């Protein structure tokens, strides 16, 4: 018996997990699921796709100003996208409900390789290829 899509993968059922869908994109740089399990974000080159993880329906397409390296979703429905090369290492924060770009953060000297929200959504941590880690307050 295979696990259902909404069942957690556990040691007892890991061998019964099945592939539900494969996305055909030019490149897949990063993927994340929201803390509440209601949103799937896939980063591909200079774009991010938001999907419903249950139906796999595409909910939103977000074109990015530069190369995307990493994505994170907060419990408040915010999307953080990091990327860029050494001349444009930016983090962009989006509202997933309406697709509005809320804020762009700069402060790293090279591309951003990882972003993560704190569980309460108050902070965003970012790591860069330049060897620095930054902690941002999210308002």
- Confidence (pLDDT) at 4: 47
Q: In a 3-state reduction of DSSP, which class is residue 15?
A: helix
Q: What was the pLDDT predicted at 2?
A: 38
Q: Which residues of the chain have pLDDT under 50?
A: 1-5, 9
Going along the chain from its start, the domains and CATH numbers come out as 30-137 (2.130.10.10)
pTM of the model: 0.78
Residue 68's contacts (CB-CB under 8 Å, 6 or more residues apart) are 29, 30, 43, 44, 45, 46, 47, 48, 81, 82, 83
């Amino acid at each position: 018996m295979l696990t259902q899509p909404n069942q957690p993968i556990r040691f007892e059922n890991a061998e019964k997990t099945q592939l539900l869908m494969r996305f055909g994109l030019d490149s897949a740089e990063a993927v994340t699921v929201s803390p509440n399990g209601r949103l799937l974000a896939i980063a591909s080159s200079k774009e991010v796709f938001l999907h419903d993880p249950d139906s796999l329906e595409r909910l939103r397409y977000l074109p990015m100003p530069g190369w995307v390296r990493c994505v994170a979703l907060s419990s408040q429905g915010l999307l953080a996208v990091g990327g860029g090369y050494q001349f444009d290492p930016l983090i962009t924060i989006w509202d997933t409900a309406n697709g509005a770009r809320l804020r762009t953060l700069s402060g790293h000297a090279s591309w951003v390789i990882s972003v993560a929200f704190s569980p309460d959504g108050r902070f965003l941590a970012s790591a860069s290829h330049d060897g620095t880690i930054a902690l941002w307050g999210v308002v």
